[in-house]
A and B are shown apart, each in its own frame.
Chain A
Amino acid sequence: MLLIHCPYCKETLPESEFTYAGQAHIVRPEMPSEQTDAQWEEFLFLRANPKGPHYERWRHFHGCGRFFNAVRDTVSDKFLTTYPANTPKPDLESLIGDAE
């Protein structure tokens, strides 16, 4: 079972308190009706499947209830960082540097 740091509670807690919520930094367009079919398809369905660091969302479901973002390495299953929703992507280079 993973340990996950909730950036709101500022505590590292067992995975069973959290639920996974898909890839992070996929922003719903301001005016969906202006989206072409291709754009809308990409927004709805196309997701990354990286081997390595992955930007993803988690929700502290059985805790504060907040959605937040994380960078998790899909190979080692290690969290490189977690950070609040609606904040920019952290710099991957420095994160990997930190981990090493």
Chain B
Amino acid sequence: MSSYRVAGKGRVDTGKPVDFTFDGKTYQGGVGDTVASALLAHGEHLMGRSFKYHRPRGAVAAGSEEPNALIGTRRGPGRFEPNTRATMQEIWPGLETQSQNKFPSLKFDVGAVNDAAYMMFSAGFYYKTFMWPRSFWDKVYEPFIRQAAGLGVSPTEEDPDHYASRYLHCDVLIVGTGPAGLAAAKVAAQDGLKVVIVDEHSEAGGTLLSEPQAKIDGTPAWDWLSATLAELKATGVKVMTRTTAIGYYHQNFVGLCERVTDHLSALPDDTPRERMWRVRAKRVILAQGALEKPLVFHGNDRPGVMLAGSAQTYLNRFGVLVGKSPAVITSHDSAWFAAFDLADSGAKVQVIADTRAEVDADLIAGAKSRGIPVKLSHTVTATSGRLRVKSVRLNPVDGGSVGAGSNVTCDALLMSGGWTPSLHLFSHTKGSLTWDTDLTTFLPNETPEDCIIAGASRGLWGIEAALKDGVTAGEQTLDALDRAASGTHSYAVENDRAGTGVTHKELLTDKSPGKAKAFVDYQNDVTAKDLRLAVREGMRSIEHVKRYTTNGMATDQGKMSNINGLNIAADALGKPQPKVGLTTFRPPYTPTTFGAFAGYHRGEHFEVTRKTQIDGWARENGAVFEPVGQWSRAWYFPKPGEDMETAVRRECVTTRNSVGIFDASTLGKIEVKGPDAVEFMNRMYTNPWTKLGIGRCRYGLLLGDDGFIRDDGVIGRFGQDLFHVTTTTGGAARVLNMMEDYLQTEWPDLNVWLTSTTENWSTIALNGPNAARLLAPLVEGIDINDEDFQHMSCAEVTVAGMPARLFRLSFTGEIGFEINVPAPMGRQLWEALWAAGQAYDITAYGTETMHVLRAEKGYIIVGQDTDGTVTPQDCGMGWAIGKAKPDFVGKRGLMRPDLVAKGRKHLVGLLTEDDSKLEEGAQIVFDPNQPKPMTMVGHVTSSYQSDAVGQPIALALVAGGHDKMGETVYIPMPDRTIKAKITSTVFLDPENTRLKIAKES
């Protein structure tokens, strides 16, 4: 048995040895041990180095509030987690753990020079030290900060585990399985009520696990606990351990993170590592208990200095003595009981020092009977010991003046500064708090949620008080659910340890306070001196003090430091604590893995990927894809050996010279149908629709009521009351939402139905001088020529045997068609066209070529050439506005003073003087020689190589551009300034001669 293990104590099964490693050395513990308890059983207190000063640190607590003993845990490749609390990680055979923030080793660390240089690292040192000289920032300060920043080491490999998420609906959710939670559960456990009780620890019981001496109604606490758990499970209560309630959200929505496999030596197949439960409970009972506060004194962070209640937990729950000759310093009765338990298990308690002048006579007698020296009215002013506490310096206090100190040798120092109710989840509910002067702490007041807080988390000490309060909470909960409690529940507890105490700011000392390292926030290395410095330097709000010192900002979220920090800041400010206030508790309660939050949404399941029916063909034919919104679209189709530029040039040239085929299925499609369809279209779009004949289509422009372009697309009329609207790929859902908004709320009188048909149609575009020649033989129902099916026509026909909505339109400037067939027929049509196209050397082209071809013709892409501040006139599309219409969305907006003002940015073409291709997004100036910062007058929106034009082309928004045709602008780049000439946006075939189908001879 390890030398600090006490036979017959604790719940760890030492008969089942478990070997694990810490920093490469093998240790043995038992089933039920945590890493911390197993190391302490071997007398190892040193578990890590602190974050800023690299001071040696050991476990100060036994639960999830632990700020110091953070370790990395490893389970084979990919499974590494930093900053795990050694006090929460259960050991299993083969577990590898390592300490953090050390170099080169835990026992000898060169970073500890920071400790010697602590004057430099006091509060706000970042803000002061790194201000100047400016030139030092990139080379000196930033690399230093980056190297020093962060706790632990980030994992570098992809996480091979998977994470699950579940919803849970219940009548009552109870957080905490201590006496209050269990008593509440016993009351609430009724037929037909779904009750869930959760606890973050590996076993249920809370305080009861640390207080086996108590007898509940004559039954020893642990027997009562197992009987109660069995009874609850038998009544159908869901008892969840290793499950942390991480956050309390609106309307009793509570997040639970269940750790499923981290305690197992072998990972079961198909089991998630963690499971996030999203619980919606009708009623919630919070019984999280209380957390012990450290005392704030010089040297209170040395390994071996530990919370007294945690020492009691290590002894009673884990059977481990944290020291064989411990000393105790306290301001609360509870530490006396811890000292008694340790003494009764064979430890030689060196002294119990209490800051109070008067202590309950029973406690004094208890100490006397065990031969423990007692020092009342004492303060602690120092500790010694490099890697483990060796002695403590105790000084008498008389009327506020500190007397001469004397050293007491010890191998552990147990401290208690009293208890802080756990109000974290209660605060998440926006629950209000009240300051209790007697307990020197905040207590819960009112919450807007359907929630009751019970037991020590509302400042009730002792098992009996917690049990009784749990009963009350259970009864109130049943009452709220319109249920009557069955029977009466009453408890009597023997050997209960309800106690009282006082709370301090930092303890009185005879040393210079400026040199004291009295830690308030262990994890962030914040001392009492730092807090006082922050107040001296002008911080008045506790929120500012927090940010300036980083007190309470570490991963333990101030569980130990908040109240001590508040007491000190309030003292420094000369204000009572409630006037200074508490910083906000935010979820999660304890650090939670990204995996648990992400759940199933990772990798390919991170977001929906939408694919067209032609996607498979594109993949088989070597397409490179780009994401467009949720869509995966073919970007270009390289032939072997081609890079992107070569492939795109070939696709452009072939399309302009013969024919190209393009998958346009992602275009948004909305069917607008009903007797008032034409009126609706007239009101929504800028263009006039009344006179558009059946079988004709028109380019439509959609504005917001502010007058700015929102979307565009070609709209075909297939009947008196039927419009086939197309939208941009990315805008489909937004456009439909906007249409529905106006239809439902502004014009509910219009008899129109809107249906999204994007996924009902596969849409294939054919473009090029041979497009009509290729298509004509496949079409039944209409002749493809300029007389029977002129440009901007549409018809319901049969194409290659498939029912189709055929559009003749062009987004390339060539003869163009868009063929819509029922979606599942998309690939069949594509392959039919592909086969027929072989005679014309057809090319498949992707979105990049589509962009080039349209830019050569000056066709805009909404969202690329416009940015939400561009009007139709700005784009030179005043022709698309139905000026005779009394109203349409955006008509009044276009008359706004700023939209008719001179000097607006206009969309123009740019041709560079040196034939270089401009960078999209590049800024434009009129005078390249003006002083910096220059006046920027616009930017490049689109830019491409263009074989058809014979030089690179660009579209740009330029102030007053329409009135500056032929003028030169300048595009300053890091290496040179490029000259460019303003031109029309139409670079190719301004007369649209290429749209005409030549008569076949």
Interface residues of A (CB under 8 A from B): 1-3, 19, 21, 27-28, 31-33, 35, 37, 40-41, 43-44, 57, 59, 61, 65-67, 76-78, 85-86
A31 to B253, CA, bound (A): 46
Residue pairs across A and B with Cβ atoms less than 8 A apart, 13 shown, are A1-B250, A1-B253, A2-B250, A3-B251, A3-B280, A28-B746, A33-B892, A40-B893, A57-B745, A59-B741, A65-B740, A66-B744, A77-B250
For B434-449 the 0/1 string (1 means CB < 8 A from A) is: 0000000000000010
Q: B746 contacts A32, CB within 8 Å?
A: no
Smallest CB-CB separation from A66: which chain B residue? B744
Interface residue ranges of B732-768 to A (CB < 8 Å): 737, 740-742, 744-746, 748
For B867-896 the 0/1 string (1 means CB < 8 A from A) is: 000000000000000000011000111011
Smallest CB-CB separation from A65: which chain B residue? B740
A41 to B887, CA, bound (A): 17
Q: A44 contacts B706, CB within 8 Å?
A: yes
Partner among A43, A67, A76 whose Cβ is within 8 Å of the Cβ of B740: A67
Instruction: Say yes or no for B75: interface residue by CB 8 A criterion.
Output: no
Q: In the complex, what's the smallest C-beta–C-beta distance from B875 to chain A, in angstroms?
A: 21
Q: B746 contacts A33, CB within 8 Å?
A: no
Q: A85 contacts B745, CB within 8 Å?
A: yes
Q: In the complex, what's the smallest C-beta–C-beta distance from A56 to chain B, in angstroms?
A: 13
Known A-B contacts A2-B250, A40-B893, A66-B744; the reply to A31 vs B430 at CB < 8 A is no
Instruction: Say yes or no for B510: interface residue by CB 8 A criterion.
Output: no
A35 to B891, CA, bound (A): 12
Known A-B contacts A32-B887, A40-B893; the reply to A21 vs B741 at CB < 8 A is yes
Interface residue ranges of B684-709 to A (CB < 8 Å): 705-706
CB neighbours of B253 from chain A (8 A): 1
Partner among B705, B886, B896 whose Cβ is within 8 Å of the Cβ of A37: B896
A31 to B885, CA, bound (A): 12
Q: A1 contacts B249, CB within 8 Å?
A: yes
Partner among A28, A32, A67 whose Cβ is within 8 Å of the Cβ of B744: A67
Instruction: Say yes or no for B897: interface residue by CB 8 A criterion.
Output: yes
Q: A86 contacts B748, CB within 8 Å?
A: yes
Smallest CB-CB separation from A27: which chain B residue? B746
CB neighbours of A85 from chain B (8 A): 744-745, 748
Besides the contacts A19-B737, A76-B448, A86-B745, what 17 more A-B pairs have beta carbons closer than 8 Å? A1-B249, A3-B280, A28-B705, A31-B886, A31-B887, A32-B705, A33-B895, A35-B892, A40-B896, A57-B745, A59-B737, A59-B740, A61-B737, A65-B740, A67-B744, A85-B744, A85-B745
CB neighbours of B896 from chain A (8 A): 37, 40-41
A86 to B747, CA, bound (A): 10
A65 to B737, CA, bound (A): 9
A35 to B737, CA, bound (A): 26
A63 to B858, CA, bound (A): 40
A41 to B707, CA, bound (A): 12
Smallest CB-CB separation from A31: which chain B residue? B887
Q: B891 contacts A32, CB within 8 Å?
A: yes
A66 to B448, CA, bound (A): 30
Interface residues of B (CB under 8 A from A): 249-251, 253, 278, 280, 430, 448, 705-706, 737, 740-742, 744-746, 748, 886-887, 891-893, 895-897
Smallest CB-CB separation from A77: which chain B residue? B250
CB neighbours of B250 from chain A (8 A): 1-3, 77
Q: A2 contacts B892, CB within 8 Å?
A: no
Q: In the complex, what's the smallest C-beta–C-beta distance from A36 to chain B, in angstroms?
A: 10
Partner among B430, B741, B744 whose Cβ is within 8 Å of the Cβ of A76: B430
Smallest CB-CB separation from B705: which chain A residue? A44
A61 to B895, CA, bound (A): 33
Known A-B contacts A1-B250, A44-B705; the reply to A33 vs B887 at CB < 8 A is yes
Q: A33 contacts B745, CB within 8 Å?
A: no
CB neighbours of B893 from chain A (8 A): 40, 44
CB neighbours of B892 from chain A (8 A): 32-33, 35, 40
Q: In the complex, what's the smallest C-beta–C-beta distance from A9 to chain B, in angstroms?
A: 15
Among B280, B745, B886, the most chain A Cβ lie within 10 Å of the Cβ of B745
CB neighbours of A40 from chain B (8 A): 892-893, 896
A18 to B744, CA, bound (A): 16
Known A-B contacts A37-B897, A40-B892, A86-B748; the reply to A2 vs B251 at CB < 8 A is yes
Smallest CB-CB separation from B733: which chain A residue? A61
CB neighbours of A66 from chain B (8 A): 744
CB neighbours of A78 from chain B (8 A): 448
A2 to B741, CA, bound (A): 23
Q: In the complex, what's the smallest C-beta–C-beta distance from A48 to chain B, in angstroms?
A: 18
Among B748, B892, B895, the most chain A Cβ lie within 10 Å of the Cβ of B892
A1 to B248, CA, bound (A): 10
Q: In the complex, what's the smallest C-beta–C-beta distance from B284 to chain A, in angstroms?
A: 15
A95 to B430, CA, bound (A): 22
A33 to B883, CA, bound (A): 12
A78 to B705, CA, bound (A): 31
A20 to B448, CA, bound (A): 23
Smallest CB-CB separation from A28: which chain B residue? B746
CB neighbours of A41 from chain B (8 A): 896
Q: In the complex, what's the smallest C-beta–C-beta distance from B489 to chain A, in angstroms?
A: 32
Q: B706 contacts A67, CB within 8 Å?
A: no
Smallest CB-CB separation from B704: which chain A residue? A44
Q: In the complex, what's the smallest C-beta–C-beta distance from A54 to chain B, in angstroms?
A: 16
CB neighbours of A86 from chain B (8 A): 745, 748
A32 to B894, CA, bound (A): 11
A99 to B251, CA, bound (A): 14
Q: In the complex, what's the smallest C-beta–C-beta distance from A76 to chain B, in angstroms?
A: 5
Partner among A32, A43, A67 whose Cβ is within 8 Å of the Cβ of B741: A67
CB neighbours of B744 from chain A (8 A): 66-67, 85
A86 to B746, CA, bound (A): 8
CB neighbours of B891 from chain A (8 A): 32-33
A55 to B897, CA, bound (A): 30
Q: In the complex, what's the smallest C-beta–C-beta distance from B290 to chain A, in angstroms?
A: 28
Smallest CB-CB separation from A85: which chain B residue? B745
Smallest CB-CB separation from B743: which chain A residue? A67
4 closest A-B pairs (Cβ-Cβ)? Answer: A32-B892, A85-B745, A28-B746, A67-B744
CB neighbours of A27 from chain B (8 A): 746
Q: In the complex, what's the smallest C-beta–C-beta distance from A86 to chain B, in angstroms?
A: 6
Smallest CB-CB separation from B280: which chain A residue? A3
A83 to B280, CA, bound (A): 24
A27 to B705, CA, bound (A): 13
A21 to B745, CA, bound (A): 11
A87 to B645, CA, bound (A): 58
CB neighbours of B430 from chain A (8 A): 76
A57 to B253, CA, bound (A): 23
CB neighbours of B886 from chain A (8 A): 31, 33
CB neighbours of B280 from chain A (8 A): 3
A50 to B741, CA, bound (A): 24
CB neighbours of B897 from chain A (8 A): 37
CB neighbours of B706 from chain A (8 A): 44
Smallest CB-CB separation from B890: which chain A residue? A32
CB neighbours of A1 from chain B (8 A): 249-251, 253, 278
CB neighbours of A44 from chain B (8 A): 705-706, 893
Q: In the complex, what's the smallest C-beta–C-beta distance from B526 to chain A, in angstroms?
A: 33
Q: In the complex, what's the smallest C-beta–C-beta distance from B743 to chain A, in angstroms?
A: 9
Smallest CB-CB separation from B747: which chain A residue? A28
CB neighbours of A61 from chain B (8 A): 737
CB neighbours of B249 from chain A (8 A): 1
CB neighbours of A2 from chain B (8 A): 250-251
Smallest CB-CB separation from A1: which chain B residue? B253
CB neighbours of B251 from chain A (8 A): 1-3
CB neighbours of B278 from chain A (8 A): 1
CB neighbours of A19 from chain B (8 A): 737
Q: In the complex, what's the smallest C-beta–C-beta distance from A53 to chain B, in angstroms?
A: 15
A78 to B450, CA, bound (A): 12
A43 to B742, CA, bound (A): 15
Among A27, A41, A77, the most chain B Cβ lie within 10 Å of the Cβ of A77
Among B253, B278, B748, the most chain A Cβ lie within 10 Å of the Cβ of B253
A41 to B898, CA, bound (A): 11
Q: In the complex, what's the smallest C-beta–C-beta distance from B838 to chain A, in angstroms?
A: 45
